[in-house]
Structure 1
Amino acid sequence: MPTVLIIDDNAAVAIALDVLFSLHEIDAVRAASPEEGLQLLERHAIDLVVQDMNFTADTTSGEEGGALFHAIRARYPDLPVILLTAWTQLDAAVDLIKSGAADYLAKPWDDRRLIASVQNLLELGQANRALRQRVVAEQRQRHALEHDFDLRGMVWQDPATERVVHLACQVARADVPVLISGPNGSGKERIAAIVQANSQVAGGPFVVLNCGAVPVELIEAELFGAEAGAYTGITRARDGKFDAADGGTLFLDEIGNLPLAGQMKLLRVLETGRFERLGSNRERQVKVRVISASNADLPAMIKAGTFREDLFYRLNVIELRLPPLAQRLLDILVLARYFLGGEKTLDAQAQATLLAHGWPGNVRELKNVMQRASLLTPGPVIGAQETGLPLAGVASPRAPQDGAATEPDRDSVTAALARAHGVVAQAAQELGLSRQALYRRMERLGIARG
């Protein structure tokens, strides 16, 4: 049961409070003077204090109660204190409320109001203790991660991100494929770098290929290499990404863009470590740890016949799901400050604006917004106007929190194109997309080019 400390020199008042609390399953400890009360605080686990304002006969100023409150506050800053006052000490009680006292009640008190106040404060105290314990546990886990693993400079604050980072470190040393899912610009490549840096092949090469940025007709040559004359314009043999990543890690971003022919070859490499260059019949052998990433709905693509089910299960031995930035609210401000590099700060309205924005382009969009705001702000403090985002309270609706629509919709795309005066590359950068990805999205949404 919770325990309340009653500090009152009037024995009748202390006993009455003790009985009242016992009727509501609250333990009570009594002290007749400020000195005794402070001693009991040192010896007992106290959840709340109810104290009088005067302890000397014929004293009505409330100064003794004020001194006691400040002494408790100095030693136990989170301990709630309720003041019992006579009307003559009302002004002093109000001043103490401003200094952090939880409540004040006049004598004679109303039992129902007193019990309601005590119970509310006890529940609040329990919630605060649970929150502090959780924060301490999260800090301890973060320090352990930072001490035991190479986190590649990852910046985060949100527990959702920490869960992904923790799992990435946990599976890093296992020699199995890893699939990182999440929207564009959310930080999938950084998670892949953490997996590689803590893997058994950390000393090997870390090769990155964005499958969405390579033309379909060249993707197989990029992955597996090509012999001279294998296609128009190639005059000598060239290595592919698997050759370059031999003995290390190959990160395949936007794996959903890989054509079916390339998917079949990739499946064979994952199963046997063998492949053939484009235009060659000679098999090559490599040892490569494959990490893939996708912002697409791969199960839906399997149903549509555009992605091989057997490849999906081969890639998806371990899946790391990175939520969109809109679902990692605690990451927004720490990332914003990181991108500013300590050169400038954000005022309260700018912070509120960042938190209210839906971030369809995720971390990449946030980085671009901070870079632009830093350039456009002559002074050391960035205001909401300089962010270029809709102001908090006037902004467009937040992105859905269930993750169902984490990519830019038609309105977001057309607005970005308008701000960029039709320059697709600039609009794509703002939205956190590659130019090719934005062109594909424009085509799906029926937005004409130019």
Structure 2
Amino acid sequence: MGKILIVDDNPAILEALSLLLEIHDYAVVTAQNAFEAQQMVQYQNIALVLQDMNFTSDTTSGEEGKTLFYRLREINPHLPIILITAWTELETAIELVKAGAADYIGKPWDDQKLLTSIANLVELGKAQASNANYKRQQAEREAPKAEANLAGLVYASTAMERIVDMALQLAKSDVSVLITGPNGSGKERIAEIIQANSLLKDKPFLKVNAGALPQELIEAELFGAEAGAYTGANKQRIGRFEAADGGTLFLDEIGNLPLAGQMKLLRVLQTGEFERLGSVQTRKVNVRVISATNANLLKDIQNGQFREDLYYRLNVIELQLPALCERPDDILPLVNHFLPNRPLSHTAQLALTAYSWPGNVRELENACKRAAVLKPDGELGEQDFTLQNDAPLYTAKAAKTKQEPTKQELEEAMRAHQGVIAKVARHFGMTRQALYRRLQKFEIEY
């Protein structure tokens, strides 16, 4: 806690107030004139000021105190200031309270009233300082993000916020990044964020979906091929590594790369060297690789389908995207993004947030497109999204007919789902807000 500054030209008053406050464990400093007071506020940790309205003998107008008040406010606009007034200065004191003074007390003062006022203001000052620090820290965290290129990513969940924060950090380095997560969860968008905020943002950025290519063509796609290297290769082909030289290559569904291609990829990552198919000429490139997969590569390593040494080359840093059902706070913002300015009924909102979205963001986008086609205008209801009937969908009607869970059921579900609120809420078919209310009602920690 900072110090309390007492400003008065009367030594007896300074001594009396200092003794009163020190008895109650406050750290006190004193000043007998405006100059000393300004210096202390400027250079010391002052939590509160208790100031007289006059500092010159035979002066009763309060103008000196008024001038000091405004100068202290210039130094620290949030500093609590209590005015010590005589009846002749009361009008000026009231004017200063309207201008931001915390309180005023008359002479002679009531000790208990003064102590109560100081205690309240000191605690308020702590809260304001804490809030100011939080806002400053939050602003410092958000400033880089506000200036960042988020490649159109829409999110509201803390889970995705952590992913974005890490992606922005990784963007400034040149390490290889492996993005994992289920299909349709947004892996490519995260790769775009890394590229868009990197030092290579103005360099080539090429994408290859290894899962969409026949295995016999993947190597040619990545490393190029000479004419006649394989059936149908009638002319020379430049590979993606060669085309991305100096920039970034995004390899999606990396788990689909055959073992021969994995060996070549490992070599490129280690040395930057490769040969086109059908060529003995070694070429050298400098390419940053970002890869992605929905597969369990560790399991593939155990099964002999993926090289362990390549895995650790690709996975210098891993970004693991959660499924959409694990970040339900993103669902409605995404719906608003895909269906701008379209109102949703309450039951539609409940249904959309409770649905499991096995196809993740891609499925949600398709559902929104269907809804826009089937009902071009007006409010959208649950039935307009044509969600799968066999999905774990909980409508408002179902939620009403379902009996409210007991404390024991809530505790068991919290243990079963390891305290993940989104999963517990889906388990009972309720919104997270409703679940929070029940947890608070039964005094269950979360």
State the TM-score, normalizing by the size of structure 1: 0.57
Q: Deviations over 1:239-272 (max 9, x none)?
A: 1111121111100001001000000000000001
Structure 1: 4+ residue segments shifted above 6 A = 132-139
Q: Deviations over 1:356-413 (max 9, x none)?
A: 1111110000000001011111432110000112452459xxxx978xxxxxxxxxxx
Task: Look at both structures and tell me which one has the larger radius of gyration over its CA atoms.
Answer: 2
Q: How many Å apart are 1:153 and its aligned residue?
A: 1.7
Residues 152 and 138 of structure 1: CA distance in aligned 2, closer, same or farther (over 3 Å): farther
Unaligned runs of 5+ in 2: 1-78, 81-127, 400-415, 419-446
Residue in 1 that maps onto 2:367: 369
Residue in 2 that maps onto 1:356: 354
Residues 374 and 152 of structure 1: CA distance in aligned 2, closer, same or farther (over 3 Å): same
DSSP 3-state at the match of 2:155: coil
Residue in 1 that maps onto 2:255: 256
Q: Is the 8 A contact 1:349 1:392 kept in 2?
A: no
Equivalents in 2 of 1:138, 1:383: separation in Å? 41
Code of the aligned partner of 1:168? A
State yes or no: 1:190 paired with 2:192: no
DSSP 3-state at the match of 1:382: coil
User: What is the alpha-carbon root mean square deviation over aligned residues?
Assistant: 3.0
Number of residue pairs matched by the alignment: 274
Residue identity (%): 57
143-152 vs 186-195, greater mean Cα deviation: 143-152
Residue in 2 that maps onto 1:68: none
- 1:236-255 aligned at under 5 Å gives the runs 236-255=235-254
Q: Is the 8 A contact 1:249 1:290 kept in 2?
A: yes
Residue in 1 that maps onto 2:379: 381
Residue in 2 that maps onto 1:89: none
Equivalents in 1 of 2:386, 2:185: separation in Å? 20
Q: How many Å apart are 1:151 and its aligned residue?
A: 1.3
- 1:274-423 aligned at under 5 Å gives the runs 274-342=273-341, 344-389=342-387, 390=389, 392-393=394-395
Q: Is the 8 A contact 1:263 1:308 kept in 2?
A: yes
Q: Deviations over 1:319-352 (max 9, x none)?
A: 111111011111000011101133x221111111
Residues 222 and 138 of structure 1: CA distance in aligned 2, closer, same or farther (over 3 Å): farther
Q: Deviations over 1:269-327 (max 9, x none)?
A: 00011110011000111111000001010111101110000000000001111111011
Residues 401 and 345 of structure 1: CA distance in aligned 2, closer, same or farther (over 3 Å): farther
Code of the aligned partner of 1:315? L
Unaligned runs of 5+ in 1: 1-42, 45-128, 403-450
Equivalents in 2 of 1:137, 1:366: separation in Å? 36
State the TM-score, normalizing by the size of structure 2: 0.57
Residues 337 and 246 of structure 1: CA distance in aligned 2, closer, same or farther (over 3 Å): same
Equivalents in 2 of 1:188, 1:348: separation in Å? 31
Code of the aligned partner of 1:283? T
Residue in 2 that maps onto 1:122: none
Equivalents in 2 of 1:141, 1:326: separation in Å? 30
Equivalents in 2 of 1:281, 1:268: separation in Å? 15
Residues 150 and 276 of structure 1: CA distance in aligned 2, closer, same or farther (over 3 Å): same
Equivalents in 1 of 2:244, 2:253: separation in Å? 18
Q: Is the 8 A contact 1:292 1:315 kept in 2?
A: yes
Code of the aligned partner of 2:229? A
Code of the aligned partner of 1:392? Y
- 1:42-441 aligned at under 5 Å gives the runs 140=139, 143-342=142-341, 344-389=342-387, 390=389, 392-393=394-395
Code of the aligned partner of 2:375? T
Residues 401 and 215 of structure 1: CA distance in aligned 2, closer, same or farther (over 3 Å): farther
Q: How many Å apart are 1:144 and its aligned residue?
A: 2.1
DSSP 3-state at the match of 1:246: coil
Q: How many Å apart are 1:141 and its aligned residue?
A: 6.6
Q: How many Å apart are 1:133 and its aligned residue?
A: 10
